[in-house]
Structure 1
Amino acid sequence: MFLTSISPSTLVALVLPLLPRALSSPLMKRGGSFLALHTDFPDPSFVKTPEGKWFALGTEGNGKRVQVAESDGFHSWTLLDIEGLPKVAAWEEDAQHFAPDVIRRDDGKYIMYYSANSKEVGPNQDDHHCVGTAISDDPKGPYIPNDKPLACDLDKGGAIDPAGFRDADGTLYVTYKVNGNSIGHGGDCNNGVDPLVPTPLVLQKLAKDGVTPVGDPVQILDRNTADGDGPLVEAPSLVLSSGTYYLFYSTHCFNEDTYDTRYATASSINGPYTKNNEQLLKTGDSPRLISPGGATVHADDGNRILFHGWCDASMKQRCMYGANLSLDGTKASIV
């Protein structure tokens, strides 16, 4: 009755000023993750430049060893026709370059950690990855690889999924997975048949150059079926928020719909880390995620996350997805 007594022009004048506030209201926002790049771009990591531009690096695909994408505002990404790693080091084969991760060093240079097949083969394995390092003046490359790998652990299955981390005091670290399932005994992820092989996530302290190991690596997590883990844990990503260390990781097999993203927390960088035992990201989450994993959380603020999931039910390509993240106490949640 009230509305019918107002002319259309008056109604428009009343409603229009309210629209910006209504559209920005938390009740109007769509929560959950979003499709960031609709192409094969697994294991994304990302970095923000001092100028405010975002760059993401991904596992080999689309004809590149290391893929590169860019964004001005995090939510909309563009795949660049750039080879992030034009040349390989003498220690590595020219194939199977996985899970690159990049951090910015104090001198402004960018350090890329990545995994590649070593020319040296460990016992009883076809998959023989090591963690390598490469340096660039530009976050999108080209990255120049160092002569020696950072970590191999070939006798334990190899080393994959590296991720750099800068602690509150400026100390640099890298986390990675000891790829024990590569020397497993078959079954799911080649590690579903007893005796199961350890697949620990380890933490390696580094010198200021970001490439030289300091001391021995420290194990900070491993799979445990009692915690809901599958036959492995992998893809570590470490961030610090309000005195709490959050270690994000994936478990189960990447090619199955049980693959998911979880996290553990600690008050000290060396642990002990306590698993939350909840699925931060899982199949069926918005927008119709399938096997979400390989996640990286932005180290500077912990409020953004990129990860991969199958582009569609054919499970032939893994697209890049993103989300905003809330870290509160020891609780992480997608917002």
Structure 2
Amino acid sequence: MNFKKYFILALLYVVPAFTVLAQNPIIRDQFSADPTARVMNGKVYVFPSHDIPAPPNKNLRENWFCMPDYHVFSSEDLGEWTDHGVIVSQNKVAWVDSTSYSMWAPDCIERNGKYYFYFPANKNVAGPNGRKGFGIGVAVADKPEGPYVPEENAIEGVFGIDPNVLIDKDGQAYLYYSMGNIYVAKLKENMTELATKPVAIANLPEKGMKEGPFVFERNGKYYLTFPHVENDTERLEYAMGDSPEGPFTMTGVIMDESETGCWTNHHSLIEYNDQWYLFYHHNDYSPQFDKNRSVCIDSLFFNADGTIQKVIPTKRGVGVTPASGKIQLDRYSAISENGATIAFNDTTNTFAGWKTTLANKGAWISYNTVNFEKKNSGKVVVNAGALNGGKVELRIDAVDGPVLAEIDVPESKEMTVSKTKINKVEPGIHNIFVVAANDNPVEIDWISFE
């Protein structure tokens, strides 16, 4: 059998209660992009931008980004995310043009018990050069969830987008942003004013757009990471240096261009519970329009010399999934080359998720890192349908592994929920495989164990 495999790079952070339902995208009820992830107060907070379909009669650029506000999301296990609602809106910032829908990639950082949220937007007043253009503002809160109070004015001396802030080990804060080049400037202690004039960072690619910088330090090395259009769409690249201001040396690629044509890819990197993660975005819920994007996570690893191993994007995402949860097989970790396909449940409402079709005998799909407890050893619950009736085998740990159950999928035009007794499963972490047992096509939405 020929296989096409999309394996997870490693087993990720395991939560004691195994409550993770971690799959990509991680935000499943709205579009989200440009994720800046930060570890704050023992949790991971994600500060993304917010894509929306363009409202009618707003005189907006056709088929372009439409981004009115920012939410913040938090999680302790990287699987279950809490939406804390809107924290900054274009309608409630004094210096922002409230008709521009241009609140692009943000950042947030903590200092001395205060949380500073940095965001770009179009100004409502022209500057000295006669252009309104983009400014970068700051909103301040006492908690990462907010409420945030925007400063009255944008940061003076900054004309650009995609802010990122690094506080170095000596306490000096640096602001990075992009506008043609990638710039760096020191911030004052108050985190809302520049201490030095912005300087364009040298030794970066001159050809192709660069934007969305994200800088971090690891083992004494500084990593300047950014999206760059080397060919036709953005890929994530990085440079390394010995100082927050450089000089930097171009080093490698973190993630290649999207194979399905999402033109942008913005990102951030964090270490959480001894594992590094890459947060990025892709247009999973909007495959025909890449200006509506969604945040994803995958694991990231370093080589012994400090260079970054390239991240291959997955549908499975990160973490452990409880056997008692609804396991979305379409967020697979591996899939057969022939006879297995993924499609939306409802093309008019993509947030309803996806389904798996196994079209012929031997077609299979796998979902890894499922936690079985003793209480999960009774039955498998399957939401599936087969126009002519069908049968699938549930196998464990390998496509030719032990059979847990033979599941008869009832003849139906609609998906129905059925239960089948399973053989005993040893408690612990297992990979599951669902294999078509005959040539009658079967559609599967989810499975669960009880």
Q: Is TM more than 0.5 here?
A: yes
Kindly provide the CA deviation profile for residues 185-242 of structure 1, in whole angstroms up to 9, marking residues without a partner as x. xxxxxxxxxxxxxx111111112222121121222247535xxx52x10000000001
Kindly provide the CA deviation profile for residues 73-92 of structure 1, in whole angstroms up to 9, marking residues without a partner as x. 12443444x11115633222
> Paired residue for 1:99?
105
> Paired residue for 2:39?
48
- TM-score, length-normalised on structure 2? 0.54
Q: Secondary structure at the match of 2:226?
A: strand
**Of Structure 1 and Structure 2, which has the larger fraction of its residues in helix?**
1
Contact conserved, 1:129 with 1:152, CA < 8 A, in 2?
no
Residue identity matched to 1:319:
S
Residue 252 of structure 1: how far off its partner (Å): 2.0
Residue 111 of structure 1: how far off its partner (Å): 0.3
Contact conserved, 1:291 with 1:310, CA < 8 A, in 2?
no
Deviates more, 1:293-302 or 1:143-152: 293-302
Q: Distance in 1 between matches of 2:164 and 2:194?
A: 14
Q: Does 1:140 align with 2:145?
A: yes
Residue 54 of structure 1: how far off its partner (Å): 1.9
Aligned identity (percent) is 24
Residue identity matched to 2:151:
N
Q: Does 1:247 align with 2:224?
A: yes
Q: Distance in 2 between matches of 1:96 and 1:46?
A: 21
Larger radius of gyration: 2
Q: Secondary structure at the match of 1:35?
A: coil
> Paired residue for 1:129?
134
Residue identity matched to 2:278:
I
Kindly provide the CA deviation profile for residues 249-289 of structure 1, in whole angstroms up to 9, marking residues without a partner as x. 00129xx96211111111122111111243534313xxx78
1:151–1:310 distance in 2 versus 1, CA, 3 Å: farther
Q: Distance in 2 between matches of 1:68 and 1:140?
A: 7
> Paired residue for 1:237?
214
Residue identity matched to 2:31:
D
1:223–1:275 distance in 2 versus 1, CA, 3 Å: closer
Q: Secondary structure at the match of 2:186?
A: strand
Kindly provide the CA deviation profile for residues 45-98 of structure 1, in whole angstroms up to 9, marking residues without a partner as x. 122222x22221121335851122221212443444x11115633222123211
Residue 139 of structure 1: how far off its partner (Å): 0.8
Q: Does 1:273 align with 2:248?
A: yes
**Corresponding residue to 2:113 among 108, 111, 117:** 108
Q: Does 1:214 align with 2:195?
A: yes
1:64–1:268 distance in 2 versus 1, CA, 3 Å: same
Q: Does 1:203 align with 2:184?
A: yes
1:308–1:296 distance in 2 versus 1, CA, 3 Å: same
1:151–1:233 distance in 2 versus 1, CA, 3 Å: farther
**Corresponding residue to 2:88 among 63, 85, 88:** 85
Contact conserved, 2:68 with 2:102, CA < 8 A, in 1?
no
> Paired residue for 1:185?
none
**Corresponding residue to 1:58 among 32, 40, 48:** 48
Contact conserved, 2:233 with 2:261, CA < 8 A, in 1?
no
Contact conserved, 2:235 with 2:253, CA < 8 A, in 1?
no
Residue identity matched to 1:101:
D
Contact conserved, 2:233 with 2:264, CA < 8 A, in 1?
no
Residue identity matched to 2:122:
N
> Paired residue for 1:70?
74
Q: Distance in 1 between matches of 2:125 and 2:9?
A: 56
Q: Distance in 1 between matches of 2:87 and 2:70?
A: 5
- TM-score, length-normalised on structure 1? 0.71
Residue 138 of structure 1: how far off its partner (Å): 1.5
Residue identity matched to 1:46:
A
1:200–1:299 distance in 2 versus 1, CA, 3 Å: farther
> Paired residue for 2:269?
297
Number of equivalent positions: 271
Contact conserved, 2:74 with 2:81, CA < 8 A, in 1?
yes
Q: Secondary structure at the match of 2:34?
A: coil
Kindly provide the CA deviation profile for residues 93-126 of structure 1, in whole angstroms up to 9, marking residues without a partner as x. 1232111210011x2110001001112336586x
Contact conserved, 1:45 with 1:101, CA < 8 A, in 2?
yes
**Corresponding residue to 2:239 among 264, 268, 279:** 264
Residue identity matched to 1:48:
V
> Paired residue for 1:315?
289
Q: In the TM superposition, what are the counterparts of 1:4-15 in structure 2 within 5 Å?
A: none
Q: Distance in 2 between matches of 1:249 and 1:281?
A: 12
Q: Does 1:165 align with 2:171?
A: no
**Corresponding residue to 1:37 among 18, 23, 27:** 27
> Paired residue for 2:417?
none
Residue 246 of structure 1: how far off its partner (Å): 0.3
Residue identity matched to 1:40:
F
What are the ranges of 5 or more consecutive residues in structure 1 without an aligned counterpart?
1-25, 180-198
Contact conserved, 1:241 with 1:302, CA < 8 A, in 2?
no
Kindly provide the CA deviation profile for residues 109-155 of structure 1, in whole angstroms up to 9, marking residues without a partner as x. 10001001112336586x711111110111122211112211555xx
Q: Distance in 1 between matches of 2:229 and 2:289?
A: 16
1:289–1:297 distance in 2 versus 1, CA, 3 Å: farther
Q: Distance in 1 between matches of 2:221 and 2:135?
A: 29
